Amino acid sequence: MKPIRKRTQPAAKRPLRVIARTARPLPPELEQRIRAYMSEVVGRPIAMFFEQDPGLLGGIALQVGNTVLDASLSRRLEEIRAKLAVHLRAAAPIPPPDIPAGVGVARDALRTAGDMIRNYKPVPVVEEVGTVVSVGDGVARVSGLPSAMSGELLAFDGGGEGMVLDLDADAVGCIIFTGGDTIAEGTVVRCTGRVADVPVGEELLGRVVTPLGDPVDGKGPILARARRHIEGPAPGVAEREPVSTPLQTGILAVDAMVPIGRGQRELIIGDRQTGKTSIAVDAIISQKGSGVLCVYVAIGQKASSIAQTVGVLEEQGALPYTVVVVGSASDPAPLQYIAPYAGCAMAEHFMYAGRDVLIVYDDLSKHAAAHREVALLLRRPPGREAYPGDIFYIHGRLLERAAKLSRERGGGSMTALPIVETLAGDMSAYIPTNTISITDGQIYLESDLFFSGIRPAVNVGLSVSRVGGDAQVPAMRELASHLRLDLAQYRELSAFAQFGADLDRATQAQLRRGERIVEVLKQTNREVLAVEEQVVMLFTLSGEWLDDVPVDQTRWFVKEFLVHVREGYPSVMRRIRETGRLDEVREDLARALKAFKKDFAGVMGRHAESA
């Protein structure tokens, strides 16, 4: 039995749909002339429709299939406005500092606009258009647009804007950035020939912006002199240099045991509410006065949490050298999806200009969820945990853009601190394992340590830096060489000590030392330490200086000793800061520590007698 085939009218015999749009209704005789002319030009039967669109202002726009011939007045004015904007950016790239200069720029703009209008010659614009087939939840499918490119910006009638993400045989899938409320089925869509980009440059420092670069801090418009594509190739191997310059986070436990270098990608991972964002924010605050610029990208965070973080940065004086990119939980998934790429483009601008940049992605777990939502709406086949197959690639191409550039490329660097949230401490989940395999190490924050009062709750057994001591000053490298091992052994021995078994003297000494190490490494939020202060604190852990100090007094002892050295031995702090070495000041530190211990013992003795 032969299959039944649906009979269709041959393409050559089917009427071609033609739409003529004008600002005002046309006389019947003019409509008849246009219909006859179009039928003759097309050379086949047509279905002609006339529509009114007051937004055209004048002239006519003809749509033949997926092609539009636009000879309207609104299109001509838009061209003049675009040319005038280019002229103004070239003539006044910097905002006028005073009123007379501003008046001069305005006068020049009016003169240029007048010349453009007088010399205007109407030329119809032929362009390709598509039609929205379906739209919802920030995603649209558009029929037509056979020449659309992946990543190209699309313009929707009514002012909406989106980006092509999927290319199918009969349609394109795009994510909507703006104007989602005005887009409906049947809306006309046009290719722009532009790739998604954001404003970049010094003008963004100290500002809070959306992933599209629009300000949301109420401080006025951002007149950036440059723009950069949100997607870009990562530097090649020949363009990179080894990571060797330390990036101080101001956190003793991190800088001593999990050092971070400029150009490194260090993952911060742990359960929710374990201090991941606090470490990243403290790292930003620690860059004050170091020349390192910062970009903080908030992805899927509550608006109240983002406002609190911005408030902390402003309070600590870190906002003037920081750009905050906000893709909050209330924003559509497409904006959350492009947020880290937009922030990376802003950081890349400084990196390729020879500057050092620190960028924080907070967090990539929510970015992966936003990408999954967009992919499922675009009907991509789901994989493990319903994530699309390219979930590894979207984070890989993002984090690979962080690098330490060679001198030939300017010598700039971009250090990435991505944050990933785990569930019940499961580091073997899909997104954590992906990001661990991409990055150069991870700082693992453990819930049990956090809730037991050990903060920052860094688990040294699961934390690692693949750069290691190359990103430490010599004094820090020398003093912290055995710190990881001592702390890891203490954590292991303390588990056995809970059973109350008899322990030998060596084990007891190791437990006592481990208890004091834990106390010294405790640090509150916003208590960032300079490298010379960290060296002085680590010096107290060398040898047996703290063995006779009570455990509950250890932290107070070390902090007071730091104040003692800072006030009584300023040359010691200066030499550590300038040389980064311990040899020249070792004897001075030992002498200061002996004198301080005598005073401390006297104070403790008088306190015991009074008690």
> Residues with catalytic annotation?
466
Are residues 452 and 274 in contact, defined by beta-carbon separation less than 8 angstroms? no
Choose among 9, 12, 19: nearest CA to 44: 12
Cα–Cα separations (whole angstroms), residue 454 to 163, 226, 248, 255, 459: 46, 45, 21, 17, 10
Are residues 218 and 206 in contact, defined by beta-carbon separation less than 8 angstroms? no
Q: How would you label 522-543 residue by residue, b for 16+ Cβ within 10 Å and e otherwise? A: bbebeebbbbbbbbbbbbbbbe
DSSP letter for each residue of 202-231: GGGTT-EE-TTS-B-SSS-----SEEEESS
Residue 191 pairs with which residues in a beta bridge? 154
**Residue 480 per-residue DSSP state:** T
Q: What share of the chain is helix, strand, coil (3-state, %, to 5)?
A: 45, 20, 35
- 441-445 sheet: strands from edge to edge: 208-209, 322-327, 293-299, 356-362, 413-421, 267-270, 441-445, 464-465
Q: How would you label 596-608 residue by residue, b for 16+ Cβ within 10 Å and e otherwise? A: bbeebeeeeeeee
Distance CA 240, CA 218 (A): 39
**Strands 171-178, 161-167: pairing kind:** antiparallel
Are residues 120 and 316 in contact, defined by beta-carbon separation less than 8 angstroms? no
**Residue 439 per-residue DSSP state:** S
Choose among 474, 481, 442: nearest CA to 460: 442
Are residues 598 and 548 in contact, defined by beta-carbon separation less than 8 angstroms? no
Report angle CA 150, 437, 268 to the nearest 5 degrees: 100
Residue 558 pairs with which residues in a beta bridge? none
Output the CA torsion sign for 95, 101, 102, 107: negative
Query: Tokens standing for 125?
Result: 């614009």
